Structure 1
Amino acid sequence: MSSLDRRTALKALAGAVAALSVSRFPSVTSPAGMTEGLGSWTVLTLEAFADTQIPGERRFAGDAAVAGAVSGPGAVQAGVIKTLASDELRLAPLLPEIAALLNARALAYATAHLILLPITFPPFVGLPFQHRTALVGDLLGHENPDRSIWQMISLLTSLAFDTAAHIDTRQAVTTHHPGLTWLGFPPPGPDGLWRFTDYSYGKALAALHPATTASGSPA
């Protein structure tokens, strides 16, 4: 992805968050420190959604949110809830509403498919993994009016696993963040900086300009 594409994606994400704040949930405020106040049903629901996107193994016996569809870490182990509820994103006050919307969709899906849901878990969490996957596919479909919401949460889920978005990269590497470790993200050099001596294509694609400075900048 080019730097322009990244900027475009970030602008789209910021616009989606702003649109949700002012239009879909106009009465929601944004107090700090919402992570602890999300509520267990909200956390379970969002964990189950993230686990559908990037599955992982169960954290403990009877883990309801994580279906255990694969071995190894997934988005939940990588800290997706901390990413979603981070102060910088200011999305935490909206998460209960988003989880409620997802559970309403799950209840409608279960009714249409004659699936008996347990009453001890949120409706989306109660869906078997294959049905969670099918529902998420529907939510991301072009005809779904709420598609932008699920695209946004899906993007943040990926950021939690692929980049450890909620913590400093050096800290993530040194503390063995599950996503970065699984991806084989390299550690920094002794000075704490990343330098890549090997060309990504295995060879130099162009000769270095003779006026390039020692720092790699053009003269």
Structure 2
Amino acid sequence: MSVRARLLGIIEEIDQTYSKTFNHDLDIHYTLCVGTFGSNAFVTREIKGDIYFAAEKLSPETNHLKVIVAHEIGHVTHFSFAERQGMNWKSVDWIHGLTSLYIEGAATYLSKKIVPELKESVYFTYDDEGDSWVTCYEIHKKDVKRRFLEDVASGWDMVKEKEWFRLSGGHYFGHNRLGYLLGTDYVERLVEKVGEEVALTFWNGNDMKKDIMNWLED
């Protein structure tokens, strides 16, 4: 079976799992891109129900596909929670590291809930090659948090966004997208502190940036 055919079946399966888990249906539009493409998958922020997958960038293994689909649907689900609370989207500073840290952490948290009990690194690299990546973060966690905090304090820009959240980053510690691990760490601890429902809507009505900064400094 081709990656395309397998992906379509997995999208339907994961979509249904989200609907059953959170008891609501989302209006999501899926686009499968074939040919050279810059990213493996992404959700648009302007239209919060559009998800794009790049066939050539995806692992053909079923669990890997399930996780990346769960991650992207996780973004739409996360946005929908805030939407239901009347979120003012114009107030969101999308191009900021603290926002990226929170939303990527929330999507990863949700992917682990929807597709549980897989090897930890699969939730971040969507393949079986990420053990050294997760190990790097665990060993250097204090240094990673300190460096991220320094980058935020000195002014965020697209160079830093790429370093921490894009495939083209990874110059600081030798592994790209370490911001995803930071974000998941933060969201999991926020869930422990305030509960899942509050944690996943925390950016609506709370000083999310200050809370993350306090966590980074801890």
Q: Greater CA radius of gyration, 1 or 2? A: 1
TM, length-normalised to structure 1: 0.27
TM, length-normalised to structure 2: 0.27
The structure with the largest helix share of the pair is: 2
The structure with the largest strand share of the pair is: 2
